[in-house]
Structure formats: structure tokens, C-alpha cells
Structure 1
């Protein structure tokens, strides 16, 4: 059963690790699909943070769009997939790194992770996606 708009937006707003998919520019290969942290508030844009010169960063810049899929298997099998155009790419701020890290890590781990990532991960960008196409379902208990 498809989710309502409110249900799918609320589910996407939860801190799932997403599968990011983006066309990688090669006819002989499937799209690049990798796990990624993301941020989303219902009714807004989705944003991710990645290295400007990472494989996914370059592929997104070339394609101009990407998709994310999040799922869970308990208490029911549920997923939401969203795809759309990139609406902005900007240099990441330390505050954004704190925000997204706080979404996924225990509070006592955030500062150490942010210090490490800010120093070691190289130039990071925040890429914003405008949700354009949605797929969602709750398959019930299996």
C-alpha cells in the first residue's frame, strides 16, 4: 500500500541511512549506488554532504540529479524513494557537519567525529535535491 504524502515525508525525515543512486556516465555500468547520510524536513529539500571531488560528488555534478531510497524491515516493511534535480551545491560548513553527524551518531561521539571529518575528509559540499518523484510503500508484516 502506498504511503500518504504526510507518511512518506515523515518517514524520510527519520534518520535512516539512504542508498544514493546517480547515473555514473557509463553505458556499460549500472548507476552508482552507495550508502549516505542525509537531512530532510517535511516539505523541504533533501541535502547530503560529500566530497566535492568524490566519485559521487562528480557523478551528481555531471548528472544534475540523483535519487535516495530509505527502508526498514520492522515493525513492517516500508520504503520511500525520492528523486529529483540538484538545486544547489555549496561549500559545507562545520555547522552542517555537526547537524548531520548529530542525526546519526550518539551525542558523546559527535564532537570527536566532527573534528576528525572536518580535518581529514577534504573539501566537502552540501548538495540539495528538490523532491520531484516519489515511490513509497508499506508492505505490512511479512
Structure 2
């Protein structure tokens, strides 16, 4: 059964690992990779990625991407959201800390942030405005 707007937005706001998909060009299937993301109901989705990454190059060329999140317990539920890139900006240490704290135990955040800031190269934050949603909870039959 499809989720209501409130249900799908609340589900997307939970800290799932997303599958990001973006057009990879003629003769190629879409690039699909796992990624951390940030979302608050009613707002834009944002991700952080390397400025020199293939992922960022493809997102820049396509001007849009899709995120899909899912769970299997207590019921199979998923939300897929697709939309245009509406803003790109250099990543900040504060943004890295914010998204890291969403996914990591509190005692791991500082160490990860320090390592990532020093070793992952220049990062960018990409904001996507949700335009199209597909959602379902397969346990609601």
C-alpha cells in the first residue's frame, strides 16, 4: 500500500542508508551506489560527495538524481524520491559532523570526521528538491 505524504516524509527522515541512482550516459546503466543523506520533512534532500568523484560528475551532468531507502522489518517498506539539483556548495566541517552524527555512534563521530576531513579530498554538498515519490509498505495488505 502506498504511504501517505506524512508517512513517506517521516520514513525518509529516518537515518537509512540510501541507494543513489543517476544517469550514467548512453550505453550505460544508471550508476547506483550507497550513500548517507539528510532530509527533514518538507525540505530538500542533501548528500555529501567528493568534488572529483564520478558520482558528482554524473549528478552535475544529469542535473538530477534518485534516492531509494528501504527496510525489511517489521514490514517491507520503501521510499524512492527523485528530483532536480537545486544547490551545490562546498562541504563544511560542521556539515560533515552533522551527517556523520546521523549515522555513527556518538563516540565514533569525532574520529571519523577528523579522518574524513583530512583524507577524503574536497567534498561538496548537493541539494535535491523532491519532485516524484514512489513508496509502499508491503505489510499493509
Q: Shorter-chain TM-score category?
A: over 0.9
Q: Is the 8 A contact 1:77 1:141 kept in 2?
A: no
Q: How far is 1:43 from its partner?
A: 0.3
Structure 1: gaps of 5 or more residues: none
Q: How far is 1:29 from its partner?
A: 1.2
Q: How far is 1:15 from its partner?
A: 0.2
2:43 aligns with: 44
Q: State how many pairs are aligned.
A: 141
Change in Cα spacing, 1:91 to 1:67, as seen in structure 2 (3 Å) is: same
Q: What is the SS of the residue equivalent to 1:6?
A: helix
Structure 2 length as normaliser, TM-score?
0.98
Q: What is the SS of the residue equivalent to 1:69?
A: strand
Structure 2: gaps of 5 or more residues: none
Q: How far is 1:141 from its partner?
A: 7.4
d(CA) in 2 for partners of 1:128 and 1:30? 23
* Structure 1 consecutive aligned stretches of length 4 or more whose deviation exceeds 6 Å: none
2:34 aligns with: 35
d(CA) in 2 for partners of 1:29 and 1:74? 33
2:21 aligns with: 21
